[in-house]
């Protein structure tokens, strides 16, 4: 791989994924952060299915983003939506996968939003 920040993030993500795996009882809350958007999905790794997902591109989420002042505020809203959707499917506990990113800024805001909406991790 090229010596870039993207390649470094992928290496960090692989290192995290060696220890973090979701199962049916406790699926994985995976976060992907691009320069413009943030995506979150709850994944059951034992089957390989995405159970619920939310992002800044969802139509339902976009309606709530009009009053968001920053990308961090948007990440908080996405965290709340993914938690609401997970709770609606009966998922209360998850394992957090930060996707190779540092646990601060938008990634931390998404986690805080999910916790505030009732998801446990």
Domain with 80 in it: what CATH number?
Answer: 3.30.420.100
**What does pTM read for this prediction?**
0.91
- Other beta carbons within 10 Å of 26: 16
Output b/e per residue, 9-25; b: 16+ Cβ within 10 A: eeeebeeeeeebebeee
Residue 1 confidence class, pLDDT cut points 50, 70, 90: low
| Structural domains counted in the chain | 1
In a domain, 121, yes or no: no
50 belongs to a structural domain: yes
Mean pLDDT of the region 74-78: 96
Band of the pLDDT at 114, cuts 50, 70, 90?
A: very high
Give one DSSP letter per residue of 68-108, joined into a string.
--SHHHHHHHHHHHHHHHHHHTT--B-EEE-TTS-SSTHHH
Which domain does 84 fall in, by range?
5-116
Reading the block at residue 58, the tokens are 């969802």
Confirm whether 10 is domain-assigned: yes
Query: Is 16 part of a structural domain of the chain?
Result: yes
With respect to residue 45, please indicate whether it lies within any of the assigned structural domains: yes
Q: Residue 2: CB partners within 8 Å, gap ≥ 6?
A: none
The answer to whether the CB of 70 falls within 8 A of the CB of 3 is no
Q: What is the mean pLDDT of the chain?
A: 93
Q: Which residue has the higher pLDDT, 24 or 88?
A: 88
**Is the CB of residue 117 less than 8 Å from the CB of residue 83?**
yes
What count of other Cβ atoms lies within 10 Å of the Cβ of residue 116?
12
* Residue range 3-55, pLDDT digits in tens: 788 899 999 999 988 888 888 899 999 999 999 999 999 999 999 999 999 99
């Amino acid at each position: 791989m090229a010596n870039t920040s993207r390649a470094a993030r992928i290496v960090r993500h692989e290192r995290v994924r060696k220890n973090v795996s979701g199962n049916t009882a406790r699926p994985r809350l995976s976060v992907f952060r691009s320069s413009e958007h943030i995506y979150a999905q709850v994944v059951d790794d034992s089957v390989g299915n995405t159970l619920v997902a939310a992002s800044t591109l969802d139509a339902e989420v976009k309606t709530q983003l009009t009053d968001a002042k920053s990308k961090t505020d948007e990440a908080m809203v996405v965290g709340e939506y993914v938690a609401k959707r997970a709770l609606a499917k009966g998922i209360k506990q998850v394992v957090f996968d930060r996707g190779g990113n540092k646990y601060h800024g938008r990634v931390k805001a998404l986690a805080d939003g999910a916790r505030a909406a009732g998801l446990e991790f």
